[in-house]
Amino acid sequence: MTSKLSERMLRVDQAGEFGATRIYAGQLAVMGNRAPGSGEIAGMAMQEAAHREEFDAMIVARGVRPTLLQPVWSAAGFALGAATALLGPEAAMACTAAVETEIERHYTQQLEDLGDEDPELAARIEKFRDDEREHHHAAIAGGAERAPAYALLSGVIRLGCRLAIRISERI
Ligand SMILES: [Fe+2]
Ligand SMILES: [Fe+2]
């Protein structure tokens, strides 16, 4: 039996992992696969796809309604990825660093809220949280902080992520 809490978490987490795959798809569409950093991005994209698949399966198995905003996140994620890639490889990495900062915080908060409830969900969240942390490190190592207007870019993206999280829990 899936509690309201787990249901809300699964909805937003599936939406987030879906959004992540769309961000990387947008970046790779602009960068192609020979640009600096694109190998790294393709690797992270594969992990996001795996995260998404696991949440997709859980949503189906538990009969949780996915977010109604899937088409919005699809377009917004792709646009964010494409726009940051157009600014350059460092801006693409800054996007990942900003997104993963918020996602890591979000997953950590969820683990706290879940406590001993729903170990199946908690185990996944914990595993993915560790992957997102690695993505964050990779993005910083990839020059995220050297992106033009890094502080502004990062702040705007982080704010957008927080809004998207709040909205996807409910809608
Ligand atoms: Fe992920
Ligand atoms: Fe990630």
Q: Which ligand has the nearest atom to the CA of 54?
A: 1
Helix, strand, coil % (nearest 5) of the chain? 85, 0, 15
What Cα–Cα distance (Å) separates residue 5 from each residue in 2, 16, 114, 121? Answer: 8, 17, 8, 11
What is the residue type of 118?
D
pLDDT band for 24, please (50, 70, 90 cuts): very high
Strands (E) across the chain are located at none
Distance 20 CA to ligand 1 centre (A): 6
pLDDT attached to residue 104: 96
pLDDT at 35: 75
Structure token digits, residue 167: 């909205």
Sequence-distant (≥ 6) Cβ neighbours of residue 49 within 8 angstroms: 21
Q: How far is the CA of 17 from the centre of ligand 1 (A)?
A: 5
Which ligand ends up closest to the CA of 125?
1
What spacing in Å lies between the alpha carbon of 116 and ligand 1's midpoint?
Answer: 22
Q: How far is the CA of 3 from the centre of ligand 1 (A)?
A: 23
User: What is the 14 CA–ligand 2 centroid distance (Å)?
Assistant: 13
| Ion ligand 1 residues within 5 Å by Cβ | 17, 20, 48, 51
Angle, helices 4-31 vs 38-62, to 10°: value is 150
Q: Give residue 56 CA to ligand 2 midpoint distance, Å.
A: 16
Greater confidence (33 vs 80) lies with: 80
Ligand 1 mean position, distance from CA 68 (Å): 20
> Residues 90-138: pLDDT tens digits?
999 999 999 999 999 999 999 999 999 999 999 999 999 999 999 999 9
Compute the average pLDDT of residues 152-166.
94
pLDDT at 33 > cutoff 90 = no
Q: How far is the CA of 132 from the centre of ligand 1 (A)?
A: 6
**For the segment 35-84, what is each residue's pLDDT rounded down to a tens digit?**
777 888 899 999 999 999 999 999 999 999 999 999 999 999 999 999 99
pLDDT of 2 above 90 = no
